[in-house]
Structure 1
Amino acid sequence: MTWSGLKDIELQKLTTELEMSSAMSATSGDEQESTELYERLPSGKPTPHHTRIWPATYVCIVAACGFLLFGLSKGFNSPVLSELKSRTGYTSLHRTLDQDLFNFVYLFGTTLITPFSGYLSDRFGRKLSIILCCIPYTFGWLIVVLTVSTDGPAFRPLLYIGRFVVGVAAGWTTVCCNAYVAEASPSRYRGPFIAVNGLMLTVGLFLGQLIGVYVTYYWLANIILAHTVIFVVFAITIKETPRWLLTQGRKSEAAKTLVWLNGPNCNVGGEIQKIEDGISSLTKLSVSEIFQEFKKKSVYHPVILACLITFFLEFSGINAILFNIEDIFKEAQVKSPGLTSSFAVGGVQIIAAIFGILTTSLLGRRKLLIISYSVASLSHAVMGVYEYLNNEPYCHPPGDPQCKSDLYPLAIVCVALFIASFAAGISAASFILLVELVPRRVRGVGIGLSFLVNGILAALIAGIYQSYEILVKPYGVFWTFSLTCFICVLFVAIFVPETKGKTLEEIEHTFDNRRQQRHLVSIS
């Protein structure tokens, strides 16, 4: 049966029968009738009016709110560090070490859970994993809240434990929410829908920093805890992804979900056949088989590219700057550094992230990365010059506050420009490329490995930022980031292929074809 031979009212009746049969089979355990109904669904390409977009938009936005929670957790750092310093009675040395440790334990938690997040998402399903990741979020923020009534030597250990547990939850959230959006979004909207994850992270970061200007860390932690509860309530309302259901052999539930996502007149048969073809082409590999796959250049080449993309993502300096933005502005003698950092970082990021959703489809991933890293390199270089002029003999005496105050708008512009380039291009294009480059047969391991590299570098850079700044001075830090961004421009221009407008299968064949072409050249 084809779409041209099927009237809307007939398909509506058929899908209604399928929904009723799915409900009955869920209680009886017999899927035979649902399978027979599924086989009567049409195949072929539907006309445009046969699909709808709002249900997929709803579930993807709900899943993307996990990134909003992640952003709130990251934004918790910068606004409250000053209050925590005064609470714990920092000396100059303790200030540096404790601030680095506070940043490190959070990112170490995200890194620790990363290798297991993919397995947990496959084991429990995308929806249930999203709900379960809120358990460590809840416990972590409760521990942070309890520190407000804790005095003496127990204060800092409790604070670090709570921050570490929140980091574990954040790392789990990024993997399962990203997988959900990638599988639930229609293929033609996959890029923009995944880019919404970055937008929600940006909104969360902005809100965390902005709220932290006006409330204590105790109330900020309570606000984030309340958001966690609200997120769970909405997560319960979304559907499991059709792809995961089909991997579990639950075909009737997958068909029902596709009907709900795309409308009663969607091409259920064709969509399920496409997903099943993709699943059937993937065999579950043993550890030894995975090692064998990684010996193939068509596999390890894109995985190395993905890992290097995350390497340069972190060495752009994003986490070091975000976690220490208030201190950076205080050093630059910016007036109201807390409020300024909220708008210079959060406000600019939101606008830039919205722009990035559009540019990933218009410019392509490769061109967008080249432009964004070029802007980031320039902004870091100018910021380094600004810090040099304010800390070397050009100020008499060095570090004179009046000298810095005359130039502080330049610091705001440089930081805002870097944040804009990161949100509009570096972040959006990098995370889309991570999903698109890694071959399907090792995608779980490959993406997990790249996220592991990302987490280790994020924890390392944020954890040593204060100490590195003492060693090379503030201008040395920014010039280091400028150099790595410039190197990344060359790396992307030479090694990273364009993936815009290509299916995941076509991208994978790109690396296979390169290997075949080199083999033919060597034979000739």
Structure 2
Amino acid sequence: MVFSLSQREWRPADPKAEGKPASGTIKLWPQVLVALTASLAHLSLGTVLAYPAIAVPQLTKPLLPDPSQYPLKTGAGELNRRHNTTLQETFNQSQVGEAPPLVYLLDNSTVSLDRLNYTLTRSDTSSSLPPRPHEVWLSHSQATWFASVHTTGAIMGSVVCGPLVSSMGQRRAILITSPFILASWLTIWAASLFSLLVSARLVLGICIGVTGTAAQIYNVEIAHESVRGSLTCLTDFFVGLGLLFTYALGMSGLGWRWTAFTLGLVINLPLIIGIAMFPDSPRWLATRGRKEDARKALSFLRGSNYDVSAELENIMKAGNGGSKNTLGQQVRSLKNPGVYMPFLTSCGLFIFTQFSGPYVMYSYTIYIFQAAKVSVNPYLSSVLVGVARVVGSAVGLVVVERAGRRPAMMVGGIGAALSLGCLGFYFFLQNGHGGVRYEQWLPLASMISYTLIVGATISPIPFLLSSELLPLSFRSLGSAVSKIVFYLASMVATCSFPTLKENLGPEVVFPLYAVSALSLVLLVWKTLPETKGRSLEEIEEYYKGLNK
């Protein structure tokens, strides 16, 4: 085999040219079925990301009763229209912790604007609005914590993930954490205190920090190199489905409580039942010296007509036949260019991807559309963005295998930068700079194009590469640490967005994200090899060649 570093690819890529013997016909459906089930963990990740977008507006801006639905004694229609704005303004002027104001209408009716439970009382009747359950209203700072605290939990989960996956395997790590995800969603459903809401979001973050990494590695390690890119990118496709599903529930008017209840049950029960039925990763079994179990797992994944002997021997060799690297040995191995080069590349991809704003877009979708003052309903706009994310992820399943990792990342980075630049330009025009009339369609078109491009390229591929590039002996620790970097970058981007928007304005913030997307293109061009069509063992051999 010949390696060409300058072209960032391996030659020859044809297995027949390297003398690899035919081993029979591979069945794809077992790998697809296992990958689909494991990807439900990333469906859960998508719901955790999108939930603040539909919950925060409901938790911070409680809806007033519509006076048109409750006719008053005198001049009902005109009176309702006259006082509807006054009611909302009075409510907005009241501060958290103040006694709720009481607004008097012309016919001696009163509206009690209690933040916990308000009713409409009329002097001439005993009828009132249906009583509301005890609610939770969030201040601006509390809403920011609620929207971003999952990233802190995800960092903690990534720290736990490395040792957990190394000792118990990816499949069992998912099985252990999935019940806690279900319990967290049910806690949000029943919560009456901000502390419970934020604690449940923190636990959700810890769990997705474990399951997200574990599912990604699991899909990489069970897949044959001919379909590894597509099966691994299924996880990002499921993230898009989770976003869309959550946005759709928000548009349906289900409410933030019952949305949480639905998300907890619909996703996690199938994941728990499904993942328990499948074998562990053959490569993880190889690191434990369980050769026969690895053979059985490979036979299940490849089909009974495929001879797994050659693949099994390569896997056992890469796994050192069961010799176990300690944590200290894995850390010391970072002195080796064959370890630190792919590790640093993986971390760099995550940093520049997150600083280009995808998690900001997912968490603040409705907030951004409200700031843009688009004529389309913000909740409907969020659903359109969710559809674009799913379509983009579906396109990515094909792009990653047909175009390759490097071209897709470079084209995606340039496309994302252009979309972000257009969105920033819209806000520049909106603020009256240059006296140019801004167009209402531009923010929606920019968000949809950005989400479509990101979903097809720069969102799924870094996760795929973080598992492909790292050597097997360092994969569990390296993947966990790179995910810590990923969630740190996500937390910084998500938490800083409201402050940056207030101090710099969106016309500056979104172009800054575009600069990060262009920096990603430069990093890919300079450091990333093409991994399409190469086995994990061949990729590892490539980086070992850097020592020579």
Aligned counterpart, 1:242: 282
CA 490–256 in structure 1, closer or farther in 2 if over 3 Å, else same = closer
Pair 1:450-2:490 in alignment: no
Aligned counterpart, 2:260: 221
- Spell out, residue by residue over 1:475-510, the C-alpha distance to the aligned partner (whole angstroms, 9 max, x if none): 111011011112222222222222223333333333
Pair 1:67-2:53 in alignment: no
Matching residue's letter, 2:190:
L
Aligned counterpart, 2:386: 346
Aligned counterpart, 1:165: 203
Aligned counterpart, 2:184: 140
- Spell out, residue by residue over 1:196-245, the C-alpha distance to the aligned partner (whole angstroms, 9 max, x if none): 11111111111111111111011111111112123212222222223333
Deviation at 1:281, TM superposition (A): 6.7
Stretches of structure 1 that go unaligned for 5 or more consecutive residues are 1-43, 397-402, 517-524
- Spell out, residue by residue over 1:183-207, the C-alpha distance to the aligned partner (whole angstroms, 9 max, x if none): 2222321111101111111111111
Aligned counterpart, 1:196: 234
Within 5 Å, which residues of 2 pair with 1:26-425? 45-49=21-25, 51-87=26-62, 95-147=139-191, 150=192, 155-214=193-252, 215-227=254-266, 228-280=268-320, 283-334=323-374, 335-343=376-384, 345-394=385-434, 407-425=439-457
Is the partner of 1:389 in helix, strand or coil? helix
Deviation at 1:297, TM superposition (A): 2.8
Is the partner of 1:231 in helix, strand or coil? helix
Could you state the TM-score of these two structures normalised by the residue count of structure 2? 0.78
Pair 1:438-2:470 in alignment: yes
Deviation at 1:257, TM superposition (A): 2.9
Residues in 2 aligned to 1:112 and 1:472: alpha-carbon distance in whole angstroms:
31
Residues in 2 aligned to 1:265 and 1:53: alpha-carbon distance in whole angstroms:
12
Aligned counterpart, 1:27: none
Q: Which structure features the higher share of helix residues? A: 1
Residues in 1 aligned to 2:469 and 2:507: alpha-carbon distance in whole angstroms:
35
Is the partner of 1:465 in helix, strand or coil? helix
Residues in 1 aligned to 2:95 and 2:344: alpha-carbon distance in whole angstroms:
41
Deviation at 1:254, TM superposition (A): 3.1
8 Å Cα contact 1:357-1:428 kept in structure 2: no
The structure with the larger Rg is 2
- Spell out, residue by residue over 1:356-388, the C-alpha distance to the aligned partner (whole angstroms, 9 max, x if none): 111111211111111101011111111111101
8 Å Cα contact 1:283-1:441 kept in structure 2: no
Matching residue's letter, 2:31:
A
Residues in 1 aligned to 2:276 and 2:535: alpha-carbon distance in whole angstroms:
31
Pair 1:487-2:525 in alignment: no
8 Å Cα contact 2:419-2:449 kept in structure 1: yes
CA 512–271 in structure 1, closer or farther in 2 if over 3 Å, else same = closer
CA 55–508 in structure 1, closer or farther in 2 if over 3 Å, else same = closer
Residues in 2 aligned to 1:114 and 1:92: alpha-carbon distance in whole angstroms:
39
CA 298–365 in structure 1, closer or farther in 2 if over 3 Å, else same = same
Q: Which moved more, 1:425-434 or 1:471-480?
A: 425-434
Matching residue's letter, 1:133:
T
CA 261–299 in structure 1, closer or farther in 2 if over 3 Å, else same = closer
Aligned counterpart, 2:497: 465
Could you state the TM-score of these two structures normalised by the residue count of structure 1? 0.82
Q: Which moved more, 1:439-448 or 1:425-434?
A: 439-448
CA 193–100 in structure 1, closer or farther in 2 if over 3 Å, else same = same
Percent identity over paired residues: 24
Q: Which moved more, 1:317-326 or 1:126-135?
A: 126-135
- Spell out, residue by residue over 1:77-122, the C-alpha distance to the aligned partner (whole angstroms, 9 max, x if none): 1011111103599889975422321122111111111022122122
Residues in 1 aligned to 2:157 and 2:249: alpha-carbon distance in whole angstroms:
28
Residues in 1 aligned to 2:337 and 2:295: alpha-carbon distance in whole angstroms:
37
Pair 1:510-2:542 in alignment: yes
Is the partner of 1:133 in helix, strand or coil? helix
Matching residue's letter, 1:83:
Q
Q: Could you say what the CA RMSD is over the residues aligned between the two structures, in angstroms?
A: 2.3
Residues in 1 aligned to 2:212 and 2:340: alpha-carbon distance in whole angstroms:
24
CA 469–189 in structure 1, closer or farther in 2 if over 3 Å, else same = same
CA 354–477 in structure 1, closer or farther in 2 if over 3 Å, else same = same
Deviation at 1:394, TM superposition (A): 4.9
Residues in 2 aligned to 1:388 and 1:482: alpha-carbon distance in whole angstroms:
15
- Spell out, residue by residue over 1:116-143, the C-alpha distance to the aligned partner (whole angstroms, 9 max, x if none): 2122122223222221111220221121
8 Å Cα contact 1:68-1:201 kept in structure 2: yes
Deviation at 1:352, TM superposition (A): 1.1
CA 299–125 in structure 1, closer or farther in 2 if over 3 Å, else same = closer
Deviation at 1:287, TM superposition (A): 4.3
Matching residue's letter, 1:408:
Q
8 Å Cα contact 1:360-1:428 kept in structure 2: no
Matching residue's letter, 1:217:
W
Matched positions, count: 457
Residues in 2 aligned to 1:513 and 1:182: alpha-carbon distance in whole angstroms:
23
